[in-house]
Structure 1
Amino acid sequence: MSIIVNPKQVYSYTKMMEDILLLTEAYPFLHKEVIGHSVEKRKIVAVKIGTGKKSIMLNGAHHAREWLTTALLMDMLEYYCHRHENEQEIRDIFSKISLWFVPMVNPDGVTLVQEGADSFPQKESLMEMNQGSSDFNGWKANIRGVDLNRQYPMDWDSIDDRIQKPASAMFKGSHPLTEPESMSLYLFALEHKFDAVACYHSSGEEIFWQYKLTGDLYHSAKKIVEQLAELTGYQLIDPGPNPSGGGFTDWFIMVQKRPSFTIEIAPYVGPVPVPLEYYDKIWQENKEVGITLAKACLQG
């Protein structure tokens, strides 16, 4: 079967939706559902491989400029589909685990970064939030200028809020879960009670994993994250005694009481999209992450 996903391109919302349709047609064992909509009514889509009672979720592109995480997750999904067809061990794993992909949490923001403000009726307000610049390459927020990964209800009040207004990055919103994108992922996680989650971000080749972890949860998460660190070569980050909170991983760990990992792909490149020239390296480091998590959850 020919390859569907080409991750070595400016990977757009439109391309993702086309590829999801083609993948679900090519691999009938996949299950697709719309878990919500963005501010501009773009679909937030989840795709599942596997039928097991235990479940894992991988998500990407909370932040608009980090769209390469979407390409990575789509590539990973297709790779696991090929292996499901050809390897009995992988079929056995996916008979016991359901692996959910949410490749693009922030489709409006990704579209803004890739296509610019001309694609949106609120061009003037977007330019104002972007300090008058028409270059949106550094944009992290959703289309309303809210940082989706500062929206989750865990220590939200303590997040540094010096910005205090919609902006290209860092504004946490007026309350937790004001944005439809973060609310969609929040409700999806509450519904499925995942055994583990990996949230893909960029950049820095780091893994965040121990937001206020203690006791048995600390030890079980540490065992898994050490496997991920060995697999990827990424550095494990200690957030210190007073981490900022508000992120999906922070909320999931503290409320769902299950391991969650924020994986920062690529060498640090600053406040811009990760260049495509890094993709081959990123792929080799991350292609087995979903399988590694699945095996760890089954062993646990």
Structure 2
Amino acid sequence: MNKNGYDDIGYTYEDMMEECRQLAIGSPFIAAESIGRSVMGKPILAMRVGCGARNLHINASFHGNEWITSALLMRFLTELSNAYATDGLVGGVDVLRYCCEWTIWAVPMVNPDGVELAQRGVQPNHPLYSQLLAWNGGLDDFSGWKANMRGVDLNDQFPAYWEEECKRRGATGPSPRDYPGPCPLSEPEAQAMARLTESVPFHAVIALHTQGREIYWNYRDYEPPESEALAQRLERASGYKSVKLSGSDAGYKDWFIYRFRRPGFTVEAGFGVNPLPYSSLDRIYEELRPLLLESLRM
């Protein structure tokens, strides 16, 4: 175990589930619910924080080897919970005021199977052992694995010019990354995210990824007029660069903008080579927290 009490392999699904349980039982401010299950049957949790009429969605770990984003999001939720029990402040900001205006819907680990595979690899007794090894090029090091347990990149799964993304990626079958799947929303994890997003009227969404210290805010000119200015506010809060992105389709943020014409942001937290080490968590969180706080003022 490391000094934070987590396994040396990083922040795990088990860590996340236990923290969610503790937050849900310890605060009337927070509730937890399952929105679906992964390929291997793991519950995918959503944490509901606050009581406001406006709904903000934040998610993490669409990609297995970006598991540090789950730890970042859970730290933010923990700070919000602690603020409810004490003086209401996070980073000097009166978050209780904003949480009376917003309800935050957080999905801390979209891809629990991919996270486990990236952290622990696969053992011979796993039902997909031979397939996973083959998809990973025969290598037993899965630390670079982004996809879900069926070798599908969940952030290429959404019906927003999905066919164009297939052509761009050129991946014809399951692999550690970049395979958009046989059709949009073929995977249970992507289906769960789509159901949640269709059922709750989110005013804005933030998808946490790593790495690059950038904020992507547009999608094929479908974004609403205020998106660029909002991204610039997030840039000023965090120091991350606001970037107008092209040449990317079928991501969750892309689909949200395309489907609902509301602000959506992909935040590439931290800098380095994925998976970013757990030792970088404190530094990245100091950058990310002001951005998340600013999102409550949008």
TM-score normalised to structure 2 length: 0.92
- Code of the residue aligned with 1:245 in structure 2: it is D
Aligned equivalent of 1:60: 60
Instruction: Tell me by how many angstroms 1:162 deviates.
Output: 1.6
Could you tell me which residue of structure 2 aligns to residue 92 of structure 1? 97
Q: How far off its partner does 1:276 sit?
A: 2.0
Q: How does 1:110-189 map to 2 (within 5 A)?
A: 110-118=115-123, 120-159=126-165, 160-189=168-197
CA distance in 1, matches of 2:118, 2:255: 27
- Contact map agreement 1:84 1:91 (CA 8 A) in 2: yes
Kept in 1: contact 2:29–2:84 (CA 8 A): no
TM superposition shift of 1:290: 3.0
Match in the other structure for 1:193: 201
Deviations 1:215-258 (A, max 9, x none): 8x13x111211111112211222223xx2210001110111111
What is the match of residue 108 of structure 1? 113
Query: 2:296 aligned with 1:294, yes or no?
Result: yes
How big is the shift at 1:27? 1.2
Alpha carbons 1:208, 1:261 under 8 Å: kept: yes
Query: Alignment identity in percent?
Result: 34
Offset, 1:161: 4.0
- Count of residues in Structure 1 that have an aligned counterpart in Structure 2: 286
The Cα shift of 1:15 comes to 1.1
Give the conservation status (yes or no) of the 8 Å contact 2:13–2:112: yes
Say if 1:266 and 1:282, in contact at 8 Å, map to a contact too: yes
1:69 to 1:6, Cα distance in 2 relative to 1, 3 A: farther
Which moves more between the two structures, 103-112 or 222-231? 222-231
SS at match of 2:297: helix
Structure 2 distance, partners of 1:198, 1:140, is 19
Deviation at 1:282, TM superposition (A): 0.7
Write out per-residue CA displacement over residues 111-159 of structure 1, whole angstroms, 9 at most, x where no aligned residue.
1111111173211110000000000000000000000000000000111
Q: In structure 2, what residue type is equivalent to 1:236? A: S
Q: What amino acid maps onto 2:29 in structure 1?
A: F
> Where do 1:275-290 residues align within 5 Å?
275-290=277-292
What SS is found at the alignment partner of 2:21?
helix
Displacement, 1:277? 2.7
**Aligned to 2:109, what secondary structure does the other structure show?**
coil
| Alpha carbons 2:235, 2:291 under 8 Å: kept | no
- Which stretch shifts more, 227-236 or 122-131? 227-236
Check the 8 A contact 2:114/2:148 in 1, yes or no.
yes
Write out aligned runs for 1:19-30 (5 A). Answer: 19-30=19-30
Distance 1:65 1:105 in 2: 12
Counterpart selection for 2:254 from 250, 262, 276: 250
Q: Pick from 184, 187, 212: which aligns with 1:204?
A: 212
1:266 equivalenced with 2:267 (yes/no): no
- Which amino acid counterpart does residue 70 of structure 2 have in structure 1? T
Q: Secondary structure at the match of 2:45?
A: strand
What secondary structure sits across from 2:105 in the alignment?
strand
Q: Which ranges in structure 2 are unaligned for 5 or more consecutive residues?
A: none
**1:193 shift after superposition:** 1.8
Counterpart amino acid of residue 31 in structure 2: H
Gaps of 5+ in 1: none
Return the alpha-carbon distance in structure 2 between the equivalents of residues 290 and 236 of structure 1.
15
CA RMSD between the two structures? 1.7
Offset at residue 275 of structure 1 (A): 1.3
1:165-219 deviations in Å (ceiling 9; x for gaps): 000100001100000001100110111120111000011111111112368x13x
SS in 2 for 1:117: coil
